[in-house]
A and B are shown apart, each in its own frame.
Chain A
Amino acid sequence: MPDLSAMLEHLPAFWGGFLVTAEISVLSIIGSFIVGLIVALMRVSEAKAARLFALCYVDVFRNIPFLVLIFFAYYGLPEVGVYIDAFWTGCLALSIAVGAYVTETLRAGIVNIDKGIIEVAKSFGFGRIKLYTKIILPIAITSSIRPLGSVFINLILTTSILSAITLGELTSASKIIASTTFRPFEVYVFLVIFYGALTFALSALIATWHKHLNRYNEV
């Protein structure tokens, strides 16, 4: 019979893995947002070379399986003298791979802005930087916040794949507990609860932020 109480003595091990997953998720969300923002700006840039680079980046990283990407970075790169530990390999790989999805989400937010609003700003003499920081990005981020939330929740779930490069995150910790206790049912119930806690927290945060950012749409 399943006995969930048997997991209580393993809570510290779960907790250790949970902290690693939480830490790598937060860092990668920030990283992927920065990468996505920069590439999205290149994607809508007037410079053809920047647009082409951004398009290639998005196409490449949306078409590589994440597992292959981290194997390449963790096991392949040391062969050419580049060694990055599992934690930072995970962070970088997630930032770059998820950054491609952030790029497309933000791009959609940017191109959907009413052209009239941009024209008004231009007619008042706004330069490119102020046009983006004061008008385009605040509106684009506001309209993209929900889809961005989905992208970031997916990012949290994808961290489980990092167990494949020996990172001691939540899934990795659970596998070890399962192999020592022979209670996979109870272990994976706990695992689901821990992931659920993280994604639920992010969902709640996104919902609050969405409401705050969209306060101007309330009539």
Chain B
Amino acid sequence: MIEIKDLHKNFDDLEVLKGVDLTIRPAEVISILGGSGSGKSTMLRCINGLEEISSGSVVVDGLDVTKKDELKAVRKKCATVFQQFDLYPHLKVIENITLAPVQVLGVSKTDATNKARALLESVGLGDKADVYPAQLSGGQKQRVGICRALAVGPDYILLDEVTSSLDPEMTAEVLEILKNLANDGMTMISVTHEIEFAREISNRIVFLDQGKILCDLPTADFFSADGGMADPRIAKFLSKMGTGS
């Protein structure tokens, strides 16, 4: 379980998160929506300590991310998939996936390679194991990014606008994989602009506005006229995104 309590985050004088409370239970799929600058990516980055929190607490399965030795364990539990893929350019696809399991978790190279090959097969990239990232399309890179996250056997997957750099066709291929993961019971926290995707895979939708949670509702309620849509800020956001009914 991930428990975020009264989370504040400042960048110098700019307060980006102004007291966020959120609990994420195992097997939940949560989508975090909100406009640009609402603090949604920052919140996600606070979960695995990529941003140091200013005050409040983030606890993952009883481990406090503000404590250095506990943060290490948190990072083993939470794997992140990033917007810009950020694959290691000097390593082949298979090595991108096996590096963390072998170097951080101490898995044997053979086991890590076997698992990586199986993961690549599952996302339709079985024939790309031995090429370098520069030789892949954006959608393929992001699928490798997802395999790299899954290879460490995480309890939680953090998705930071994973389709924002992809064209619609590539977006569809990545979302399909994430949908399958959600169906398999993976706990996922997804910061996204893909409203339809959020609606399709999430149990809950959290809407952030100016560093605060404006609403935190089950998906069906969020999109209902007397639920999230009743809030003018959310209705306006969704209408601008071309969704909401």
Q: How far is the CB of A82 from chain B (nearest CB, A)?
A: 43
- Judge whether A216 and B89 touch: CB under 8 Å: yes
- Judge whether B132 and A216 touch: CB under 8 Å: yes
Given the complex, which residues of A lie within 8 Å of B133, measured CB to CB? Answer: 216
Give the docked Cα–Cα distance between A72 and B91 (Å): 46
Q: Is A85 an interface residue (CB 8 A)?
A: no
Given the complex, which residues of B lie within 8 Å of A16, measured CB to CB? Answer: none
Q: Is B205 an interface residue (CB 8 A)?
A: no
Q: Mark B63-99, 1 if CB is under 8 A from A, else 0.
A: 0000000001001101110101011111110000001
Given known pairs A116-B82, A135-B88, A216-B90, the reply for A123 and B48 (CB within 8 Å) is yes
- Judge whether A119 and B82 touch: CB under 8 Å: yes
- Judge whether A117 and B88 touch: CB under 8 Å: yes
Q: How far is the CB of B201 from chain A (nearest CB, A)?
A: 22
Q: How far is the CB of B53 from chain A (nearest CB, A)?
A: 16
Interface hits, B84-126 → A, CB 8 Å: 84, 86-92, 99-100, 103-104
Q: Which of A116, A120, A130, A216 has the largest count of B CB atoms less than 10 A from its CB?
A: A120
Selected contact of B50 from candidates A114, A123, A138, A218, CB within 8 Å: A123
Q: What is the predominant secondary structure among interface residues of chain A facing chain B? A: helix
Give the docked Cα–Cα distance between A117 and B79 (Å): 14
Give the docked Cα–Cα distance between A80 and B177 (Å): 72
Q: Is B152 an interface residue (CB 8 A)?
A: yes
Q: Is A65 an interface residue (CB 8 A)?
A: no
Selected contact of A117 from candidates B48, B89, B135, CB within 8 Å: B89
- Judge whether A124 and B79 touch: CB under 8 Å: yes
- Judge whether A125 and B86 touch: CB under 8 Å: no
Q: How far is the CB of B156 from chain A (nearest CB, A)?
A: 12
- Judge whether B89 and A124 touch: CB under 8 Å: no
Q: Which of B50, B80, B100 has the largest count of A CB atoms less than 10 A from its CB?
A: B100
Selected contact of B134 from candidates A114, A122, A218, CB within 8 Å: A218
Q: How far is the CB of A137 from chain B (nearest CB, A)?
A: 10
Number of interface residues of B (CB under 8 A): 26
Interface hits, B30-77 → A, CB 8 Å: 48, 50, 72, 75-76
Closest to A122 in B: B50
Q: How far is the CB of A138 from chain B (nearest CB, A)?
A: 5
Q: Is A142 an interface residue (CB 8 A)?
A: yes
- Judge whether B90 and A219 touch: CB under 8 Å: no
Q: Is A87 an interface residue (CB 8 A)?
A: no
Q: How far is the CB of B69 from chain A (nearest CB, A)?
A: 12
Give the docked Cα–Cα distance between A134 and B80 (Å): 19
Given the complex, which residues of B lie within 8 Å of A142, measured CB to CB? Answer: 90
Closest to A135 in B: B88
- Judge whether A130 and B90 touch: CB under 8 Å: no
Given the complex, which residues of A lie within 8 Å of B88, measured CB to CB? Answer: 117, 120-121, 135, 139
- Judge whether B72 and A125 touch: CB under 8 Å: yes
- Judge whether A217 and B134 touch: CB under 8 Å: yes
Q: Mark A2-25, 1 if CB is under 8 A from B, else 0.
A: 000000000000000000000000
Given the complex, which residues of B lie within 8 Å of A125, measured CB to CB? Answer: 72, 75-76, 100, 104
Q: Is A188 an interface residue (CB 8 A)?
A: no
Q: Is A57 an interface residue (CB 8 A)?
A: no
Closest to B89 in A: A216
Identify the A interface with B (CB < 8 A). Answer: 114, 116-117, 119-126, 130, 134-135, 138-139, 142, 215-219
A-B contact pairs, 30 of them (CB 8 A): A116-B82, A116-B86, A117-B88, A119-B82, A119-B86, A120-B80, A120-B88, A122-B50, A122-B75, A123-B48, A123-B75, A123-B78, A124-B75, A124-B99, A124-B152, A125-B75, A125-B100, A126-B100, A126-B103, A130-B103, A130-B104, A134-B99, A139-B89, A215-B132, A216-B92, A216-B133, A216-B134, A217-B134, A218-B135, A219-B135
